Structure 1
Amino acid sequence: MKILLLGLNYAPELIGTGPYTAGLVQALAERGHEVRAVVGQPYYPEWRPRPGHRGWSLEDLGSVRICRVPHFIPARPSGAMRLLHQFSFALAAAPILLSEAIFWRPDRVIAIAPSLMAAPLALLAARLSGASAWLHLQDFEFEAAVATGLVSKNRGIAKLLGAVERWILRGFGRVSTISPAMCRRLAEKGVLREHVAEHRNWGDLAEVSPLAPPSLFRQKFGITTPHVALYSGALGRKQGLDLVMKAARCLAHRDDITFVICGNGPYRAELETMAADLGNVRFFDLQPREQLGELLGLATVHLLPQIAGAADLVLPSKLANMLASGRPVIATAAKGTGIFEEIEGCGLTVEPGDAVALGAVIERLCDDPALSKSLGEAARRRAERRWHREIILGHFAFAIEAAHESGDRARAAESLRQ
């Protein structure tokens, strides 16, 4: 097949949706398909342009062509600035995507959200080329923006955003997302159940495995305490990291636990200010991808904070590698939410917003090595069962192929009726 893909984020971004979009493109190419991807400049999670990736660029890698388009990157990504950011990407991508649709004539058009704002372009490209259209949803952007306060919680604005979102979702022949809870939410938004599929993100199980000797990052970071409560990933408001700072304050009397925050993002400076008087909190930049296993092996426990309103709007991709590391995960998630279901049996959860409970659970796992070991072993088994890269990508690519074939049969039947 000829596959045209539209997605804002792409490698060499280390975290977020970029690595997963790049992985899907690679998997499709390895199965013999020709793929052309229209993507943005790498900027995440720092929210600043990466050196060497400004302006337009075109890269041919065998059967894969990557076209990068320039777009606005706000230094402080407020709600209005994010909308402008996504609109600028859609505007820059439009001529490339529509030109490919008309002259290259793809068989399948796939849109990755974010950016949902650009997804109507994929629908138009599919119509122009006679292709079938597939939307893969990494998170519910509009709802998350309201939940995190990036967009006003005014009922009228929320209703308008919801209507736009439903219109976009219902336009695609296939809509996939990354967790069972998010699939249920798609059905609630009016997407036909037979059009919904789960294709989750994956973990690097070959590169991330349970680490027996002490992590090399103990020496690199100068960590001397026996226990580390580790958060690694983007530093934004959706993550609810202020709760981690409060939990660290609750445990300031413990001289055997260090909180390590390893990441970048627009919220980092504010977090560092919150922790300025805390001796048990250390901040570090994101580390190279090839050192991910060593970094995650530094943890006694992994921290997965989320604000309450975002629990079923996204399944954090970092969870896969946390589990793969064979360490227990502590998440802030209410019972019945998707994150709670993913953690149950291989980690512990506390109610969002309860810093005292979070601190108590961190203490419990640090003080109970048998429980920590048992949960960590269960975490690795969970990763192998649910988050295996080759299996997930193989199923995703096969589903794209099968949907294409069924679409061909449907169009052929329609032409006969006519």
Structure 2
Amino acid sequence: MRILLHSTYYAPELTAIAKYNAEMMRWLQSRGHEVRVLSTAPHFPAWKVHDGYTAAWYSHSVEDGVPVWRCPAFIPRRPSGLQRLVQIATLTLSSVPAMIRQAFWRPDVVIGVEPPLLCFAAARLGALLCGAKVWLHVQDLEVDAAFDLGILRGRRARQLALGVERLLMAGCARVSTISGRMAERLLAKGVAPERLFMMPNWVNLAAMPASASGAAFRAELGLPPGSKVALYAGNMAAKQGLETVVEAARLLTRRQDLHFVMVGDGVGRPRLVELAQGLPRFHFLPIQPAERLPDLLALADVHLLPQRRAAADLVMPSKLTGMLASGRPTVAGAEPETELGRVVEGRGLRVTPEDPAAMAGALERLIDDPALAAELGAAARRYAVETLDMEAVLLRLEQELQTLVRPGR
């Protein structure tokens, strides 16, 4: 098969959607398929173009064996809602001539990834021009999240955005997503059940051994022997509600044995650093190279996964897969009826979202009860092995792609 991926996010970005896009395309290529990627300059989550790349004009390279075309786009340094819309609009427009060129390659399937949804318009155009099947993969329900989190406002603006969403989803050969609750929302938006495909975010278990050690990170941070670590590693933006972690740390300053570590980048990081000033045993680290991820996650005695209440079931934190595979328990801000709450139950402790006292209490419970922490961590690892293995998830994807392009479909 010839498979063309169109997404704003791609390697060498190390986080979230970019990571899954790159792993998927490299895996498909390793299976003998011809793959190409249409993206823009790597810039997320710091909103700064990586050295050696440009967002000012088109470029082409072969990265880890995968041909990648990068389109120009406006990259705001501190993105507001309006600036984010301008960025998406410029990338959508600049993708059109690149997509027209790719249509001459005649891909069998064009895959677009949301967010951002608007860029999927270029993928739809490319598929139309060459008669390819079009596939939308939904990592976040971007439209709902933008309005529910207050990033965008206005009844008419929401109606317009939802109308564009319906238009772009209509006629897709497949719409896939990463959680059951998000699938339910897509059905409510009019996606036909026979066109809906479940594709959870996965974890490369071969690269995430249970024997990974956080000793190197403990040495770098200068942690005393016997210290306990509460770890958050991921994007630092609005939907996470990361202030909850800082306030939980403030409530636990009496715990001389407990260190908080936050790893990552994003528009919210400067504010978090400011909030955490003066807190003892609170550490910040930059995004780490992919090869250090297993040891980073093994640094944790407990993972922290806060989330704003308004984001429930609009997003499914991609970082959760690595947390589960690490064999450590997670304290997650999630209501019991949400997808996140369901997954964490029995593999960590679920607390009320945006409640620092609840997070602090659950964290202290796990720190003080190592037998419970070990039991929940082992259950988390089993869940990752049984349901999130990259090879199994991508084999299902390959089978669905082959079914889709079969003659007569």
In the alignment, the residues of structure 2 paired with residue 61 and residue 48 of structure 1 have an alpha-carbon distance, to the nearest angstrom, of: 20
Q: Which residue in the other structure is 2:88 paired with?
A: 86
Q: Which residue in the other structure is 1:170 paired with?
A: 170
Give structure 2 stretches of 5+ with no counterpart: none
- Partner secondary structure for residue 151 of structure 1: coil
Q: Which residue in the other structure is 1:409 paired with?
A: 408
Cα deviation for residue 274 of structure 1 reads 0.7
CA change 1:373–1:51 in 2 (3 A) is same
- Give the superposed CA RMSD: 1.6
Q: Which residue in the other structure is 1:34 paired with?
A: 34
Q: Which residue in the other structure is 2:200 paired with?
A: 200
CA contact (8 A) 2:229 2:299 kept: yes
TM-score by length of 1: 0.94
CA contact (8 A) 2:213 2:299 kept: no
Q: Which residue in the other structure is 1:43 paired with?
A: 43
Q: Which has the higher mean CA deviation after the structures are superposed, 2-11 or 366-375?
A: 2-11
In the alignment, the residues of structure 2 paired with residue 14 and residue 107 of structure 1 have an alpha-carbon distance, to the nearest angstrom, of: 28
CA change 1:276–1:4 in 2 (3 A) is same
Q: Which has the higher mean CA deviation after the structures are superposed, 243-252 or 373-382?
A: 243-252
CA change 1:211–1:147 in 2 (3 A) is farther
- Partner secondary structure for residue 35 of structure 1: strand
- Partner secondary structure for residue 74 of structure 1: coil
Q: Which residue in the other structure is 2:76 paired with?
A: 74
Cα deviation for residue 212 of structure 1 reads 7.1
CA change 1:213–1:12 in 2 (3 A) is closer
In the alignment, the residues of structure 1 paired with residue 395 and residue 94 of structure 2 have an alpha-carbon distance, to the nearest angstrom, of: 31
In the alignment, the residues of structure 2 paired with residue 382 and residue 62 of structure 1 have an alpha-carbon distance, to the nearest angstrom, of: 30
CA contact (8 A) 1:35 1:63 kept: no
Q: Which has the higher mean CA deviation after the structures are superposed, 23-32 or 235-244?
A: 23-32
In the alignment, the residues of structure 2 paired with residue 309 and residue 212 of structure 1 have an alpha-carbon distance, to the nearest angstrom, of: 35
In the alignment, the residues of structure 1 paired with residue 212 and residue 202 of structure 2 have an alpha-carbon distance, to the nearest angstrom, of: 23
Cα deviation for residue 61 of structure 1 reads 6.3
2:83 partner letter = M
Q: Which residue in the other structure is 2:310 paired with?
A: 309
In the alignment, the residues of structure 2 paired with residue 241 and residue 117 of structure 1 have an alpha-carbon distance, to the nearest angstrom, of: 28
Give structure 1 stretches of 5+ with no counterpart: 411-418
CA contact (8 A) 1:211 1:294 kept: no
- Partner secondary structure for residue 231 of structure 1: strand
- Partner secondary structure for residue 277 of structure 1: coil
State how 1:339-354 maps to structure 2 within 5 Å.
339-354=340-355
Q: Which has the higher mean CA deviation after the structures are superposed, 197-206 or 58-67?
A: 58-67
Cα deviation for residue 171 of structure 1 reads 3.1
In the alignment, the residues of structure 2 paired with residue 289 and residue 62 of structure 1 have an alpha-carbon distance, to the nearest angstrom, of: 14
Q: Which residue in the other structure is 1:363 paired with?
A: 364
State how 1:256-271 maps to structure 2 within 5 Å.
256-271=257-272
Residues 220-265 of structure 1 show CA distances to partners (whole Å, capped at 9, x for unaligned) of 1112262111000111111110111111111112111111001111
Cα deviation for residue 99 of structure 1 reads 2.0
- Partner secondary structure for residue 36 of structure 1: strand
State how 1:96-245 maps to structure 2 within 5 Å.
96-101=98-103, 103-152=104-153, 154-211=154-211, 215-224=215-224, 226-245=227-246
Q: Which residue in the other structure is 1:18 paired with?
A: 18
TM-score by length of 2: 0.96
Q: Which has the higher mean CA deviation after the structures are superposed, 377-386 or 168-177?
A: 168-177
CA change 1:6–1:123 in 2 (3 A) is same
CA change 1:207–1:64 in 2 (3 A) is closer
- Partner secondary structure for residue 46 of structure 1: coil
Q: Which has the higher mean CA deviation after the structures are superposed, 357-366 or 115-124?
A: 115-124
- Partner secondary structure for residue 38 of structure 1: strand
Residues 106-127 of structure 1 show CA distances to partners (whole Å, capped at 9, x for unaligned) of 2211111122111122112111
- Partner secondary structure for residue 235 of structure 1: coil
- Kindly, what percent of the aligned residue pairs are identical? 42
